[in-house]
Chain A
C-alpha cells in the first residue's frame, strides 16, 4: 500500500463563466519516504491536486469524482476534526511565501511550539521548548536560544522558510507537501533550502511532494517526476529519464524551451499557442494544437491518449510515445 494514493481525481472550480475543469482524472501514488516532484505551468492543476489532498481547497472548488487515500484512509470520508488531526501531524505543507505561514505578531518559538502542543497535549512547556530549539537547530538556524524568541519580520526570507520547514517537521510527519518552496528565495539561498529538504527526506524518512514550474529544479532532488498539463498527467518518470528519454512532446518542448547551460542557441525553441481553455477542455489530446511531434497522426485530434507504461518506471500519455526519437537535452 502506498502512503498517498490519488485515484482518478476530478475537480471543478466554479467561476462566473461556468465551471473550470481544473483536474480531469489525475491518478498517482507516493511511496513512503520518497521524493516526488510535480511540474507544470500555471493553471495546470498541480497546486489543486495538493490542496485537495490537504483538503484545503477554496470554497468554490468541487470534487466531482475520484478519491484520495492516505495510509489507507479515504480522505474525503473523514470529518473535518479528523482531518485536522492529520494536518500538521501526519501530513504537513510548506508554502511558497513563508510569511503567509507565519503569524507576524507571535514569536517564532511560540508558533512552532503550538504545532507540537496541538497534537501532543501532555507535553510540558519545557519539553516543547526543547523540541522547538532542537528542530530549529536541525534546519540550520544559528544562535537558536536567542533567535527563537524573535518575531518573523526580524528573520530574513531564507531563515523564515527554514522556520516553516522546521514547523512542518515538528511532529515527524509521514508526508510533506512543498508548493514552490524556493520561489520567493534568491538563488544561493534556494540551493540551501533544497539541500535542507533533501536532508529531511533522507534522514527522517518522510515522503516529500514538491511542486514547481521548473523541471530542472525538481529533478535536482526528486526521485520521480510527474509532468502535468491542462489538468491531467502528461508524463511520469524518474528524474534521470525525464531528461534523456522523455516520451511526451510537452515535456520535451518544456526542456527545449529553457535557456539552459548548453550551446547558446540563436533562437530558443518555443511552444506555439496557449494551454486549452479549461472551461471547455478538449475531448482529444490536450496538447494536439501545440504539438510539433504529431507527425500528422489523425488519431491525436480524435482520441485522448491514456497514460500508459513505456518503461519500468515510466508512463506517458501520448499516442506516439513509442515512436518519439531520443532527444539530447543539454541543460
Chain B
C-alpha cells in the first residue's frame, strides 16, 4: 500500500543534517518562561499564573509532548513561544536567537521559522477563502513570488494527502480531518524549524485520529523539524513524542523520555493521569482517583501546587519542589516524594530535557 506522504517529492530545502556524531542542533530553548495575566473577577483583582517558570530545550527532529488538563498552561506555553501571547518573564531562543522581545518587521520575518496547527478544524480556516488562498497566506506574508506560491500549494496539498484540485474548494466542503490537513499544509508552507501542534486530533473521530497521527510522524521524519505536540490524551502523546513534559498549574511536574515517564511515572499527578485514562494498561493496579479538581490558577497553592490533591502530601510539600533528577536516578520530577518503586525501575535516560 503506497502512502502519499512518503512519495519522494522533495520540497524541503537541503538542511544541515543532524547526523550521528554531530551534536544535535537545538531549535528551541525556553528559560524560566512566565506568563502572568492580570484578571478581574467581580470586584477582586488577581493574576492568573498561566505559565510560571517553564524551562526546556528541544532539538531538531525531536517531538516534545506537552500533557496536562485544561487550564494547566500547555497552550499558553506554546503560544508564548510562538509570540502569539506576550510573556511576562523568562526568555525564548529560536535557533540560538533570543526572540523574547523581537517586534515589528523582524518578528514577522521570524515567524517563517515557527508555525502552528490549531485544535478546532472549524475556526482555524477562514470560511470565506479557498483552500489555495488559505495555504498561500504564510508564503504571501513572507514575500514569496506568485509563481513559487502556486507551485508550492500543489506540492503541499499532495504532502498532506490531498489533491491539487482541492485548492479551488472552500473549507465547508471538507471533513474535520481534511481541514486539519489543510491547516497542516498551511503551517508547513514556510518550511518551519518548529511546528507546534495544539491538540490537533482532539476534535476528530478515532479512525481519522489515527490517520492524522501517522501523518504527523511522517512529516516530522521528512522535514526534520522540532515539534511540540500538545494534548490532554496520554496515549496520543505517547505515540508521537520522543520526550514528554507533564504540566500542572503552569509548571512542569515531570519531564523525560516518553516511554520512561509513561512506564515509570515518578510524580503522583502523572500516576493519577495515567491511571485515569480509559483502557487496559499494562500492570494495571487499583485506579487512583484524585479528589477535587484542578484549582484556579489565580492564587495557586503555595509550595507544591499539587499538594492539596495529593495523597502523599506532607509538611515538606509546603516548600516548592525543584524540577530535578531525584536521588537514585530517573528522569526529572518536581516532587518531594517520587514513586520509589518506579525510581528504582527507571534508568537514567535523559534526552534533551
**A–B direct touch in complex (beta carbons closer than 8 A):** yes
Contact status of A187 and B69, CB under 8 A, knowing A42-B205, A258-B235, A268-B239: yes
B294 contacts across to A, CB distance below 8 A: 186, 188
B21 at the interface (CB under 8 A from A): no
A274 contacts across to B, CB distance below 8 A: 175
B349 contacts across to A, CB distance below 8 A: none
B318 contacts across to A, CB distance below 8 A: none
Contact status of A190 and B280, CB under 8 A, knowing A42-B205, A257-B206, A259-B238: no
B291 contacts across to A, CB distance below 8 A: 192
List the A residue with the shortest CB-CB distance to B1: A272
Q: Is the CB of B276 within 8 A of A331?
A: no
B272 contacts across to A, CB distance below 8 A: 188
Q: Is the CB of B273 within 8 A of A41?
A: no
Closest beta carbon of chain A to B301's beta carbon, Å:
16
Binds A, one of B84-92, B130-138, B210-218: B210-218
A223 at the interface (CB under 8 A from B): no
A215 contacts across to B, CB distance below 8 A: 206
List the B residue with the shortest CB-CB distance to A157: B293
B279 at the interface (CB under 8 A from A): yes
Closest beta carbon of chain A to B185's beta carbon, Å:
19
Bound: A190/B262 CA distance, A:
20
A258 contacts across to B, CB distance below 8 A: 206, 210, 235, 279
Chain B interfacial residues counted at CB < 8 A: 37
A156 contacts across to B, CB distance below 8 A: 293
Contact status of A158 and B293, CB under 8 A, knowing A187-B277, A259-B238: yes
What 0/1 readout, one digit per residue, does chain A (38-55) give for beta carbons within 8 Å of chain B?
000110000000000000
B74 at the interface (CB under 8 A from A): no
Residues of A262-277 at the interface with B, using a CB-CB cut-off of 8 Å, are 262, 264-265, 267-271, 274
Bound: A41/B204 CA distance, A:
9
Bound: A214/B273 CA distance, A:
17
Bound: A85/B279 CA distance, A:
38
What 0/1 readout, one digit per residue, does chain B (99-134) give for beta carbons within 8 Å of chain A?
000000000000000000000000000000000000
B45 at the interface (CB under 8 A from A): no
Closest beta carbon of chain B to A312's beta carbon, Å:
23
B236 at the interface (CB under 8 A from A): yes
Among A190, A265, A268, point to the contact of B276 (Cβ < 8 A).
A190
B69 contacts across to A, CB distance below 8 A: 186-189
Q: Is the CB of A217 within 8 A of B210?
A: no
Bound: A186/B273 CA distance, A:
10
List the A residue with the shortest CB-CB distance to B296: A156
A254 at the interface (CB under 8 A from B): yes
What 0/1 readout, one digit per residue, does chain B (257-276) give for beta carbons within 8 Å of chain A?
00100100000000011011
A90 at the interface (CB under 8 A from B): no
Residues of A240-271 at the interface with B, using a CB-CB cut-off of 8 Å, are 243, 253-254, 257-262, 264-265, 267-271
Bound: A39/B261 CA distance, A:
31
Contact status of A270 and B70, CB under 8 A, knowing A191-B287, A217-B278, A262-B282: no
> Chain A residues in contact with chain B, CB under 8 A?
41-42, 156-159, 186-192, 195, 213-217, 219-220, 243, 253-254, 257-262, 264-265, 267-271, 274, 330-331
A-B contact pairs, 16 of them (CB 8 A): A157-B293, A158-B293, A187-B232, A187-B273, A187-B277, A219-B278, A253-B207, A254-B206, A260-B235, A261-B238, A261-B277, A261-B282, A264-B238, A267-B214, A268-B214, A268-B239
| 6 extra A-B contacts, CB within 8 A, seeds A258-B210, A262-B282, A271-B210 | A186-B70, A187-B69, A216-B279, A254-B206, A264-B239, A331-B280
> Chain B residues in contact with chain A, CB under 8 A?
69-70, 175, 205-207, 209-211, 213-214, 217, 232-236, 238-239, 259, 262, 272-273, 275-282, 287, 289-291, 293-294
